[in-house]
A and B are shown apart, each in its own frame.
Chain A
Amino acid sequence: MSVTTLFAISLGAILTNNFIFSQFLGCCPFLGVSKKIDTAVGMGLAVTFVMGLASAFCYGVNIILVKLGLDYMQTLAFILVIAGLVQFVEMFLKKSVPALYTALGVYLPLITTNCAVLGVALLNVQNNYNFIESVVYGITGGLGFLLAIFLFAAVREQLEFADNPKCFDGFPIALITAGLMALAFMGFSGLQVW
């Protein structure tokens, strides 16, 4: 493993294989929590943090499962680990950063059902990443999510004033916008590290 591999993984996770725009992981919070920039950034940071932690913990859990020959229980074990982690992050934030805790509100527990978090844990196993690669993939994947949700929230704040056909109000126009952004992100797909 070298720095180049880690760099390639990061570049892929943030730009070329962005979790939202090319893998469709984490679309629910992406569309649900992107009406204002502040909350969107808060959500992005929280997701990044949980994704990093989840990659690290699930790596350990997976080793134990494989040793016991229980690797078919991956999904079940991972989701429990993630639910526990989110609970832990919630308690930690409540005690030490109460301002951020109140700002995130109901979205914090919802990170458990964010498919980007479970997705990253499963993809790490699928791609045979080692510990450092897994953590890097988790964190940079989260950063990619943060970038996407931040850009999207900025566009969406302006969309409020757009004069679109009535039946496109709300979600449809947001989805079309996301589609156009995905098109822009496709421009990165030629990037390669060699």
Chain B
Amino acid sequence: MNFKKQFKEGLITQNPVLVQLLGMCSTMAITTSITNGLGMGLSVLVILTLSNIFIAMLRKIIPNEVRIACYVVVIAGFVTCVQLLLKAFLPALDKSLGVFIPLIVVNCIILGRAEAFANKNTVAASAVDGICQGLGYTAVLVVMCFVRELLGSGKLVGVQILPTSYTPALLLVLPVGGFLCLGTLIAVMQWALAKKDKKKEETKQ
């Protein structure tokens, strides 16, 4: 088990959103303010880590034929816990994330990591994987929120940042902005990875 490698994979080379292209619905839908992005990212991080641990523990017991159904039940259980906790302690956040909190159940990242990682690896490795992938997801959300909130409304966390003479690019806060912003981010990522590969090849020669 290599913590450093997993961390790098989760955040950059195997980033769940930008490279594996998973869980894009929520990424585009809720990234209109930093608080939303952080709340969603941390919720997914917690659920992903817990479900990874649980599924890794049960990986020898769950029969292969019905594994997807079992994973979904485990994930739905944790999602319900988080949903109830948010409702009790952070009702404002729960309201602004709305239907996307229960929809974490069908977020491909969690099911994808259960299938690709947790059912083949030890509990500790799966826990680390959950944290790293969750951090990668949160990082992307925060970057998207930052761009969309700052340029779309001129504010960050409700505080005016850009001078009031700046006309907000309202487009970015609208659904359109989600598509455009994520598309550009993925393009930047592809560009950076391609450049890195090229450099590696050059040093080899």
Taking CB atoms and an 8 Å cut-off, the chain A residues in 127-171 that contact chain B are: 165-171
Provide 25 A-B residue pairs closer than 8 Å at the C-beta atoms, listed in order of the A residue: A23-B29, A24-B25, A24-B175, A25-B29, A25-B103, A28-B108, A75-B80, A113-B108, A115-B107, A119-B99, A122-B102, A123-B99, A166-B194, A167-B188, A169-B190, A170-B190, A171-B186, A172-B186, A175-B183, A175-B186, A179-B177, A179-B179, A179-B180, A186-B174, A186-B176
CB distance from B62 to the nearest CB of A (A): 15
Contact surface of B with A, Cβ cutoff 8 Å: 21-22, 24-26, 28-29, 68-69, 72-73, 76-77, 79-80, 83-84, 98-99, 102-103, 105-108, 111, 171, 174-180, 182-184, 186-188, 190-191, 194
Interchain CA distance A174-B28 in the complex, whole Å: 14
Partner of A24, one of B73, B80, B178: B178
CB distance from B111 to the nearest CB of A (A): 6
Measured as residues with beta carbon below 8 angstroms from the partner, the interface class of chain A is 35 or more
Q: List the A side residues contacting B99 at CB < 8 Å.
A: 119, 122-123, 126
Chain B CB within 8 A of A31 CB: yes
Interchain CA distance A2-B21 in the complex, whole Å: 43
Cβ contact within 8 Å between A22 and B175: yes
CB distance from A78 to the nearest CB of B (A): 8
Extra 14 A-B pairs, beta carbons < 8 Å, given A25-B29, A31-B21? A23-B29, A25-B103, A27-B24, A27-B28, A75-B79, A76-B80, A79-B76, A122-B103, A167-B190, A167-B191, A171-B183, A171-B186, A176-B183, A182-B175
CB distance from A187 to the nearest CB of B (A): 11
Counting chain A CB atoms within 10 Å of each CB, the highest count among B26, B69, B106, B188 belongs to B106
For A22, give the chain B residue with the smallest CB separation: B175
Q: List the B side residues contacting A165 at CB < 8 Å.
A: 187
Cβ contact within 8 Å between B25 and A26: yes
Cβ contact within 8 Å between A167 and B80: no
Chain B CB within 8 A of A97 CB: no
Interchain CA distance A23-B28 in the complex, whole Å: 9
Interchain CA distance A31-B146 in the complex, whole Å: 25
CB distance from B189 to the nearest CB of A (A): 8
CB distance from A15 to the nearest CB of B (A): 14
Given that A79-B72, A122-B99 are known contacts, is A115 also in contact with B174, CB under 8 Å in the complex? no
Cβ contact within 8 Å between B76 and A173: no
